[in-house]
């Protein structure tokens, strides 16, 4: 296999999903070389996120396109086919495309595709090797299966909002649609596992994935903290539930992130702020003790760090191998030499003009990701795909 083809070259994906979770998954598969056909409803102008702006890409004359920044974040390396799946003709075309596909991914309400004959039970009888991934708010089973699900609701129902935000403030969502994104990543893992099974046995299967389930799964240490202790975790702002000091501290001219992971780092840190006695104080000498005395320790650390400049703290602690870092705004992030070196900002040519996108973080030494096509206009590939004998050919 040539390195430029990608590890999933030849894998064919029929994408009936929209918004963020499903498109995140299929973009990742596309970046890895899979051929992805995205089905969009022409009556609504396509994927809902095409209207989630501004900002939008504009053409050379300043006319707004249907490429919102939100849509572009998760829809490169795909062909867009506009089909009305409520019509018999649209349903027949989707079934035809599915007959060529290895994977179908959808995020309709459970049972929502049955009336079109595009549900897993129906298609699996015709296409027993098809890997069929269903994403929904609460899953295909359970008392909440019929309820709609969005990222914000998943963050609330699944508990992450109860852990996020200022201790004295209101519950807070994460700043991006992280429940959707993580669900999309779980979907990608599940699909690749199901493909492995299909390749070994010829047998397809359905992947039933819920936004809420995936959000509960990534409660990680706080979830298991509760299951182990029975104590409901409280919001700590930027504080860590199991490590102290591990949070954001104000400096004279900004903020720094301090992440002291062990006692030897803590001793070096105390030397830097010219308070070596803290590391010998039994209240602070070990991490369990610092957890018990979090407030007392922070009462000393906050004024000490507030008296120093951000750059001074970062340079000093980095020289002592104490984990420390800045809090950057997005203009600083994308202007950084690190982002440039890691190719985390890319430029692609879309129909209206050049667009700036976030790169894929996977670096595979033999089969790297590829950026073959920019996010498409709604229906841009309809005729080419529907008229093709092999619709998934690039």
Q: What is the mean pLDDT of the chain?
A: 96
**Polymer length in residues for the chain:** 394
Spatial distance between the Cα atoms of 81 and 69, rounded to a whole number of angstroms: 20
By annotation, the residues acting in catalysis are: 180
> What's the rounded Cα separation, in Å, for the pair 313 and 267?
15
pLDDT at 393: 87
Residue 12 has pLDDT above 60, yes or no: yes
CA 63 from centre of chain: 30
Whole-angstrom Cα distance, residue 314 to residue 322?
9
Q: What is the pLDDT of residue 244?
A: 96
- What does the H/E/C string look like for 252-273? CCCEEEEECCCHHHHHHHHHHC
Q: Which pLDDT value is given to residue 167?
A: 92
pLDDT at position 4 is 57
Give the Å distances, CA to CA, from 196 to 102, 201, 233, 363.
Answer: 11, 9, 39, 21
| Among 67, 94, 11, CA closest to 349 | 67
> Rounded to the nearest 5°, which phi and psi values hold at 360?
-85, 135
The three-state secondary structure class of 28 is: helix
pLDDT, position 313? 97
Residues 301-350: tens digit of each pLDDT: 999 999 999 999 999 999 999 999 999 999 999 999 999 999 999 999 99
Q: Taking CA 178 as the corner, what is the angle to CA 173 and CA 181, rounded to the nearest 5 degrees?
A: 160
54-99, pLDDT tens digit by residue?
999 999 899 999 999 999 999 999 999 999 999 999 999 999 999 9
* pLDDT tens-digit readout, 142-158: 999 999 889 999 999 99
Instruction: Check if the beta carbon of residue 164 is closer than 8 Å to that of residue 174.
Output: yes
Statement: the pTM of the whole predicted model exceeds 0.75: yes
> What does residue 344 show for φ and ψ, rounded to 5 degrees?
-90, 0
- The span from the CA of 394 to the CA of 385, in Å, is 10
For 131, residues 6+ apart whose C-beta sits below 8 A from its C-beta are 102, 103, 104, 191, 194, 195, 198, 204, 205, 207
pLDDT at 1: 35
Q: How far apart are CA 69 and CA 179, in angstroms?
A: 19
Distance CA 321, CA 97 (A): 55
β-strand partners of 106? 16, 134
Instruction: Give pLDDT tens digits for 23-55.
Output: 999 999 999 999 999 999 999 999 999 999 999
Nearest Cα to 34, choosing from 70, 9, 4?
A: 9
Predicted pLDDT at 5: 80
Instruction: For 349-380, write each residue's pLDDT tens digit.
Output: 999 999 999 999 999 999 999 999 999 999 99
Contact 65, 352 (CB under 8 A): yes
Q: How far apart are CA 14 and CA 39, in angstroms?
A: 8
Strands 205-210 and 345-349: unpaired
Contact indicator for 209, 183 with CB cutoff of 8 Å: yes
Question: Residue 394 above 80 pLDDT?
Answer: no
Instruction: Identify the sign of the CA torsion 343, 348, 353, 356.
Output: negative
Q: Look at residue 2 and tell me whether its pLDDT is greater than 80.
A: no
Burial 169-202 (b: 16+ CB within 10 A, else e): eeebbeeebbbbbbbbbbbbebbbebbeebeeee
Confidence of residue 3 (pLDDT cuts 50, 70, 90): very low
Terminal-residue alpha carbon distance, the chain: 17
**How far apart (Å, rounded) are the C-alpha atoms in residues 376 and 37?**
11
d(CA 98, CA 126): 10
């Amino acid at each position: 296999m040539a390195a430029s083809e990608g590890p999933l070259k030849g894998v064919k994906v029929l994408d009936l999903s929209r918004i963020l979770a499903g498109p995140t998954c299929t973009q990742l598969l596309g970046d890895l070389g899979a051929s992805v056909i995205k089905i969009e409803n022409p009556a609504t102008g396509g994927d809902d996120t095409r209207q989630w702006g501004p900002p939008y890409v504009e053409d050379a004359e300043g006319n707004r396109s249907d490429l919102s920044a939100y849509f572009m974040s998760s829809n490169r390396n795909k062909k867009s086919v506009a089909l009305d799946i409520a019509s018999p003709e649209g349903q027949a075309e989707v079934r035809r495309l599915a007959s060529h596909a290895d994977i179908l991914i959808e995020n309709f309400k459970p049972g929502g595709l049955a009336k079109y004959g595009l549900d897993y039970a129906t298609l699996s009888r015709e296409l027993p090797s098809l890997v069929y991934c269903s994403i929904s708010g609460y899953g295909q089973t359970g008392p909440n299966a019929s309820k709609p699900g969005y990222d914000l609701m998943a963050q609330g129902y699944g508990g992450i909002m109860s852990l996020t935000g200022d201790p004295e403030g209101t519950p807070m969502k994460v700043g991006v649609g992280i429940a959707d994104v993580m669900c999309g990543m779980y979907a990608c893992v599940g699909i690749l596992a199901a493909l492995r099974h299909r390749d070994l046995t010829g047998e397809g299967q359905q992947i039933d994935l819920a936004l809420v389930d995936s959000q509960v799964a990534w409660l990680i240490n706080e979830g298991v903290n509760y299951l182990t202790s029975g104590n409901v975790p409280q919001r700590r702002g930027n504080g860590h539930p199991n490590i102290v000091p591990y949070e954001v501290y104000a400096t004279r001219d900004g903020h720094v992130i301090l992440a002291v992971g062990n006692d030897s780092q803590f001793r070096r840190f105390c030397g830097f702020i010219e308070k070596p006695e803290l590391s010998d104080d039994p209240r602070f000498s070990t991490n369990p003790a610092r957890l018990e005395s979090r407030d007392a320790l922070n009462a000393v650390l906050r004024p000490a760090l507030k008296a120093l400049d951000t750059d001074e703290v970062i340079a000093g602690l980095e020289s002592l191998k104490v984990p420390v870092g800045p809090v950057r705004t997005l203009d600083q992030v994308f202007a950084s030499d690190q982002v440039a070196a890691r190719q985390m900002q890319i430029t692609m040519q879309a129909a209206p003009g050049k667009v700036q996108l976030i790169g894929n973080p996977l670096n595979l030494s033999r089969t790297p990701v590829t950026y073959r096509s920019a996010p498409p206009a709604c229906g841009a590939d309809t005729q080419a795909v529907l008229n093709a004998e092999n619709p998934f050919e690039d």
